[in-house]
Amino acid sequence: MLVPAEVWTVAKAEHGSAVLIRPVGSDVAVPIFIGQAEAQAILIGLGSISIPRPLTHDLFISTLKNLKTEINRVEITELKNDTFFARLIVTHKGNDISIDSRPSDCIALAVRVKCPLFIDEFVVDKAGISVNVVNEAAQYNISKTDNQEKLTQLKTALDKAVEEENYEEAAKLRDEIKELEKKNKE
């Protein structure tokens, strides 16, 4: 049975990116691993970013509009052999038409036109993960990113201290950099 869902987030993963689809009101999300181009297409749609020239998804939406066809909804329907399946439901002259599609393309379209998104409960049961696990992983990645940013700032300050011949400050900064680099390796 299909249940209403939403794009919860798009995240960097070890081997690419993942879009996480979360059934409305659930504490579980389904990660669908996608390529960088697909992630970018979804993020552009989520952010309602204006692009000077139409991208493929924008072109498709424009074509459908010119054909007096509208995107009704997106359905993520199956998971077979680690591959997700989806369909785009469009309405033309009062008739619903189902179009087989990759989930990433359906999602990129859905976030642009703000149409409903559904996911099959079986897919959620089979591939869903706790949002708490995702939140913990995200917090770990954020702290690593923050450390990396701080490391860059410290190195800049070190260069400046050496240039100004403030060797006492440079020694303190050097020690702080070493400590932070040690933490990043852990």
* Greater pLDDT, 167 or 88: 88
Range of the domain at 174: 134-185
Residues 106 and 74 in one domain: yes
**What's the rounded Cα separation, in Å, for the pair 62 and 45?**
14
- The number of domains in the chain is 2
- Residue 151: exposure state from Cβ atoms within 10 A (0-12, 13-18, ≥19): middle
| Cα Rg, the chain, nearest whole Å | 23
Q: What percent of the chain has pLDDT over 70?
A: 88
Residues 155 and 65 in one domain: no
> Which pLDDT band, with edges at 50, 70 and 90, does 140 fall under?
very low
Residues 88 and 176 in one domain: no
Vertex 15 angle, CA 37 and 54, to 5°: 5
Residues 97 and 120 in one domain: yes
Residues 11 and 35 in one domain: yes
* Greater pLDDT, 103 or 164: 103
Domain boundary among 105, 127, 149: 127
Residues 52 and 76 in one domain: yes
> Which pLDDT band, with edges at 50, 70 and 90, does 51 fall under?
confident
Whole-number pLDDT of residue 142:
42
Find the mean pLDDT for residues 156-177. Answer: 76
Write the CB contacts of 152 (distance below 8 Å, at least 6 apart in sequence): none
Residues 106 and 138 in one domain: no
Residues 118 and 148 in one domain: no
Residues 49 and 112 in one domain: yes
